[in-house]
Amino acid sequence: MRVEQGWVTLLQERLTSEGYGCRVVNASASGETTGGALARLPRALDKHRPAVVIIELGGNDGLRGLPVPDVRSNLRSLVRLSRTSGAKVLLIGMRIPPNYGPAYTKAFHDAFGEVAASERVPLVPFFLDGIALDDGLMQEDGLHPNAAAQAKLLDQVWPRLTPLLKK
C-alpha cells in the first residue's frame, strides 16, 4: 500500500477540507514497539512541537509477547511526555490475536483503557473495530489493514480527535 493511501494522509486531507489549520506529521516507524517509540518521542516532540499527539501503536509489542506491565508503562510514559510538551493526547487501543492465550490477550487490550483512564486522555477503544475480522479490509498477512480500510480507520479516530482540535 502506498503512503498516500493511508489513514494519516486521509487525516491531513480531511483536516484541510474541514478548515482545520493543522499539519500532520507521521512520526511512526514500521515495526515499532512502545519502547522504541518512547526512545524516539522526545526528539520528535522537540522537532515538531505538536498541539496534538495521536498514540497509535502497541500491536507489535503484543505480537512479540512483550510483558503487559512494560507496554502499560511505556504507553503511560508516551502520554505523559506528550502532555508535558504541551500537546493534547489521543490514545488508540489495540487488540491482538489470541496466540498467547486469553489472559495475556485481555490484559494487553485492557492496558490501553487503564492508561487512558488513569491519565485522563480520550481513547479509541479498538482501532481495527469492524475491520480486523473482514478479510476484504485486511492485507494477506491478516494483521494489517489494506487500502480499502483506511477511510474506516480515519472514521474510528475522527470523533475522538476533533474535540482536541482548534479551527
Average pLDDT of every residue of the chain: 96
Q: What is the 3-state secondary structure (H, E, C) of 29-53?
A: CCCCCHHHHHHHHHHHHHHHCCCEE
Is it the case that residue 167 has pLDDT exceeding 80? no
Full strand arrangement of the beta sheet holding 123-124: 52-55, 88-92, 123-124
| More confident position, 129 or 166 | 129
DSSP per residue, 61-93: HHHTT--HHHHHHHHHHHHHHHHHTT-EEEEE-
Q: Helices 68-84 and 102-119: crossing angle, nearest 10°?
A: 20
For 143-163, the pLDDT digits (tens) are 899 999 999 999 999 999 999
56-103 pLDDT, tens digit each: 999 999 999 999 999 999 999 999 999 999 999 999 999 999 999 999
pLDDT > 90: what percent of the chain? 90
pLDDT of residue 3: 86
**Residue in 68, 153, 138 with CA at minimum distance from that of residue 105:** 68
Cell, residue 76: 503511560
4-34 residue pLDDT tens: 899 999 999 999 999 998 999 999 888 899 9
Q: Which residue has the higher pLDDT, 66 or 166?
A: 66
What per-residue confidence (pLDDT) applies to 142? 87
Q: Which of the four pLDDT bands, split at 50, 70 and 90, describes residue 1? A: confident
Q: What is the pLDDT of residues 105-116, one digit of tens each?
A: 999 999 999 999
Domains recognised in the chain with CATH numbers: 3-164 (3.40.50.1110)
Residue 34's contacts (CB-CB under 8 Å, 6 or more residues apart) are 57, 58, 61, 66, 70, 71, 74, 75, 78
pLDDT at residue number 26: 92
At residue 104, what are phi and psi to the nearest 5 degrees?
-65, -45
Q: What is the pLDDT of residue 30?
A: 87
Q: Given this model, what pLDDT does residue 2 score?
A: 87
